[in-house]
Chain A
Amino acid sequence: MKLDSKKKEGLKQYRKRSALGEIFHRLRRNKGAMAGACILLVLFAVALTVDLWLDQEKVIGMNVRDKLQGPSLQHWFGTDEMGRDLFWRVVYGSRFSLAIGFVAVFVSLIVGVPLGAVAGYYGKKVETVIMRFTDIFSAVPAILMAVVVVSVLGTSTINLMIAVGVSSIPGFVRTTRAAVLTVRNEEYVEAARALGKSDLYIIFLHVLPNCLSPIIVQTTLRVASAIVSASSLSFLGLGIKPPAPEWGALLTAGRDFILDYSYLTFFPGLAIMITVLAFNLLGDGLRDAMDPKLKR
């Protein structure tokens, strides 16, 4: 190894942060992303610990005398038709809703993205098989699909998450495939093949990193629809059982009163919106931080 000392020093001089460190560093300078990250941090902290400090009675205990009161100092978000404090229900609901949004999207992400990447990268028969199955999959209504999954796996919160995740796989397959198609004919992919890199290496280290934008957008948007579709499953009695609060379920319950007591739908909706917004801000920031072209 003929590496003289000058070169060794030179290397140190030019060495920068690791790739991850660099991404984190740039993320920190993005105000939007940090706002999103902070909101998510708070939401997750609440969701994970709410069992420990919130009295169940506050959440499900009925108090018919106080029913359908508007927002006040005593009941910040008002009370529902059973006189339950909506604020505490929303707070407690984060436990279910965040988990559903997060896990469901994670499930569809780890299944859908590799499938789409393989379909787009290899093309031909592999693509035809994967995409036609995706078509069949998406021809079945998402709710029906989720119902099937839940009834096969059994009713439980985790199965509900899987069910919701499974039904949004086709979207991820399509998005990823479309993005991969634009990248797979780039010459740097060919160069990697010429170097003798394996297909897996190329897909995960060259193709997918250059397809991130649409996948991140799809992911953040899916969090919202996962929360909402979980609520329709709850409505069908396949998910979280009432009276346990869950944002989607709160929305559905409030719908009957939307004309007279609109705050019943407004606050759970706001909670979903803030969550999605936070995911979106963080996702956008992440995308920008990972793109070296947007440096500085």
Chain B
Amino acid sequence: MADNILEVRDLKKYFKTPRGQLHAVDGVSFSIQRGQTLGIVGESGCGKSTTGRCVLRLIEPTSGQVLFDGEDLLSLSSREMRRRRCDLQIIFQDPFSSLDPRNTVMQTIAEGVRMRGKYKTRAQVEGRVLELMETVGLAERLVNSYPHELDGGRRQRIGIARALAVEPKLIVCDEPVSALDVSIQAQILNLLKDLQRQLGLTYIFITHDLAVVNHISDEIMVMYLGQVVEKAPSEELFRAPSHPYTKALLSAIPIPKVGGERKRRILLKGEVSSPIEPGDECRFAKRCAYAGQVCREGCPGLRELSAGHVAACHKLGADGEMVP
């Protein structure tokens, strides 16, 4: 049996709106093996960030189970949960708003260090902060700087150091590089990969950037309107995308090659349908080139295409080809 550090079962988060229930996350299930990275991709508003925050209980899910090391986090009281929070951390997208503008680098990281309770005296805490700064590649002289004095990449490193300070086992990376310059993106991604190797971390990596997710993930989960439409090991997904939405997403990756063969792009028409009170139909049906009667009549479930590769589409044949 695989060593799953996290298992999420039928996670749902509905928000109340004046026009009805908004199904932000609707029956998402997945599991991650220890030390691996699960990439979650999808367009804005598909519920990928909400999923990440529900796992951490930063947003209380409506229903479902989040088994972390076999223990259901959602059944914990808020006090017990606070104690467990050290095991699960989050790195935010925007390094400009994720750091308290009134705290120095030292104060920000020390906050996390103190949570573990291992470092008692001030000198110990400060020593640990300097260690962490070195780990994430921040120069020591920045220790008393304020966030507004630093650039985006450095700020993001502070965010990473803060998350590492409590010695977590799993980190949810919520678009950690999409607010950064491309040159810095690579640095941060490599830092995250190095840290994973050194510390045996498990990542949930949320992004809309497919090139990024390919670089870092072992497995990729594609979400559309609060549901998982496809999940597969990264290589497999890039080699043989099955769901029409995944195909469209992948065809949109630019190829940095001059004079090469032009790839045919799949252009999606129409708009994302509303996540408020969605009917019992395939949520992608309105934009899908293959959609037929059956798609409008029922929501497709996930089917296994090959080992570890699942997709949710009525029109998908057993061989992974589309059936007209």
Size bracket, chain A contacts:
20 to 34
Partner of B56, one of A14, A16, A194, A293: A194
In the complex, the answer to whether B130 meets A290 with C-beta atoms within 8 Å is no
Indicate whether B183 reaches chain A with its CB closer than 8 angstroms.
no
Indicate whether B166 reaches chain A with its CB closer than 8 angstroms.
yes
A190 with B58, Cβ < 8 A, contacts A1-B127, A198-B82 known? yes
**B310 CB to closest chain A CB, in angstroms?**
30
A293 with B148, Cβ < 8 A, contacts A8-B127, A196-B83 known? yes
- Compute how far the CA of A45 lies from the CA of B85 in the bound complex, rounded to whole angstroms: 51
In the complex, the answer to whether A195 meets B102 with C-beta atoms within 8 Å is no
In the complex, the answer to whether A196 meets B115 with C-beta atoms within 8 Å is yes
In the complex, the answer to whether A210 meets B101 with C-beta atoms within 8 Å is yes
In the complex, the answer to whether B82 meets A196 with C-beta atoms within 8 Å is yes
- Compute how far the CA of A31 lies from the CA of B94 in the bound complex, rounded to whole angstroms: 37
Indicate whether A154 reaches chain B with its CB closer than 8 angstroms.
no
Size bracket, chain B contacts:
35 or more
**A126 CB to closest chain B CB, in angstroms?**
15
- Compute how far the CA of A73 lies from the CA of B100 in the bound complex, rounded to whole angstroms: 57
In the complex, the answer to whether B146 meets A293 with C-beta atoms within 8 Å is yes
In the complex, the answer to whether A11 meets B127 with C-beta atoms within 8 Å is yes
Residues of B within 8 A of A52 (CB): none
- Residue-by-residue, is A1-45 near B (CB-CB < 8 Å gives 1, otherwise 0)? 111000110110011100000000000000000000000000000
In the complex, the answer to whether A195 meets B115 with C-beta atoms within 8 Å is yes
In the complex, the answer to whether A7 meets B127 with C-beta atoms within 8 Å is yes
Indicate whether B141 reaches chain A with its CB closer than 8 angstroms.
yes
In the complex, the answer to whether B162 meets A191 with C-beta atoms within 8 Å is yes
Kindly identify, within residues 160 to 216 of chain B, every residue whose CB is under 8 Å from any CB belonging to chain A.
162-163, 166
- Residue-by-residue, is A190-202 near B (CB-CB < 8 Å gives 1, otherwise 0)? 1111111110000
Residues of A within 8 A of B88 (CB): 194
- Compute how far the CA of A193 lies from the CA of B58 in the bound complex, rounded to whole angstroms: 7
- Compute how far the CA of A196 lies from the CA of B162 in the bound complex, rounded to whole angstroms: 12
Indicate whether B273 reaches chain A with its CB closer than 8 angstroms.
no
In the complex, the answer to whether A191 meets B101 with C-beta atoms within 8 Å is no
Indicate whether A204 reaches chain B with its CB closer than 8 angstroms.
no
Binding site for B on A (CB under 8 A): 1-3, 7-8, 10-11, 14-16, 186-188, 190-198, 206, 209-210, 290-293, 295
Listed from nearest, the 9 A-B pairs whose CB atoms lie closest are: A196-B85, A3-B127, A187-B98, A292-B146, A188-B100, A196-B82, A187-B92, A187-B97, A14-B143
20 CB-based A-B contacts, threshold 8 Å: A2-B131, A7-B127, A10-B130, A11-B127, A14-B143, A15-B144, A190-B98, A191-B159, A194-B56, A194-B163, A195-B166, A196-B84, A198-B82, A206-B100, A209-B100, A210-B100, A290-B102, A291-B102, A292-B146, A293-B146
